[in-house]
Amino acid sequence: MLTLINKVLFLLRYQSLKAAAKEQNLLANIEKIEKIISDYSKQYNHGVIDGKFWNYKVRAHHAFQLQMCLEAIDLFKKNFLKKKVRIIDIGDSSGTHVNYLKNIVHDLEIETLSVNLDPLAVKKIQQNGHQAILAKAEDIENYDIDKDIFISFQTLEHLNSPIDFLKSISDSSSCKYFVITVPYLAKSRVALEYIRNQTDEKEVHSENVHIFELNPKDWKLIFKHAGWEILEEKIYYQYPKFSPLRLLKSAWREFDFEGFYGVILKRNDKWKNKFKDW
């Protein structure tokens, strides 16, 4: 009986994703990226994406992230008369997003660099034909990296020191815009699931452990504190708001996340400079 209930809930969540994507105008992006990558089974190094539900879930999420990237690129084209845009992806696990951008954006030359602390991720990105370096996100200031747009998807929640990381980019780079997405939660919390749930795993990896899971209000305070202003913010919900499937909101909250919070940031030292004890 429990298995049947789980199967029904799984199917309803799948329909929820499809309805949500349509409602949030993501279908065009989903179609574009499906032509580029049809299988996400090797997207991550410490977990396998398998089956229609999980592939669609990742694809819809990526469509949201792609939309944020394209908006940042539009801002760059509007405000900087350049024929090339330099993009660095911090926390890139496989080169997927830079691959999207190189295949979709045709009116600018795109140069990319991906950063990850996992040697397997770096190797995978390089095998896919993209530049990558082995480094911690927090240590990026130690490298001579000068880029126009930084992107970082589902990375801040994995960092021990997200404020130091954000400040280092603000301090040391010529970054024009910074595109970030994190899980959306209505209430902030410290996650650390492996401690909270007392798992028996001998080792855990940063890729599959969240540390800080904050709500948008708290993330916005941190962004300003670390030297940024918010130009654009959006929430992608994994359930529709105008359908009976909106009743799955509590199920998403219980088993996953309601959605994901995305921002486009621009460097602004106003609040960072007020704090004298960096």
Sign of CA dihedral 192, 58, 258, 234: positive
Kindly tell me if the per-residue pLDDT of 1 is higher than 60. Answer: no
Distance CA 202, CA 204 (A): 7
Query: Percentage of the chain surpassing pLDDT 90?
Result: 68
Report the number of distinct structural domains present in the chain.
1
- Tell me what pLDDT residue 196 has: 86
8 A C-beta contact, residue 89 and residue 151: yes
At 20, which CATH number? 3.40.50.150
Kindly tell me if the per-residue pLDDT of 224 is higher than 70. Answer: yes
Kindly tell me if the per-residue pLDDT of 46 is higher than 70. Answer: no
The answer to whether the predicted template modeling score (pTM) of the entire model surpasses 0.85 is: yes
Q: Which tokens in the block code for residue 145?
A: 């990296």
Domain membership of residue 245 as a residue range = 2-274
Lowest mean pLDDT among 29-43, 104-118, 196-210: 196-210
Q: Calculate mean pLDDT across residues 204-230.
A: 94
Residue recorded with tokens 């998403």: 252
209 closest CA partner among 185, 189, 193, 190: 193
Q: Read out DSSP for 45-71? A: SSS---HHHHHHHHHHHHHHHHHHHHH
- Tell me what pLDDT residue 165 has: 92
pLDDT band at 52 (very low <50, low <70, confident <90, very high): confident
pLDDT band at 69 (very low <50, low <70, confident <90, very high): very high
**Mean pLDDT value across the chain:** 91
- Other C-beta atoms closer than 10 Å to the C-beta of 11 total 11
The string of pLDDT tens digits covering residues 259-274 is 999 999 999 999 999 9
- Tell me what pLDDT residue 3 has: 75
Kindly tell me if the per-residue pLDDT of 173 is higher than 90. Answer: no
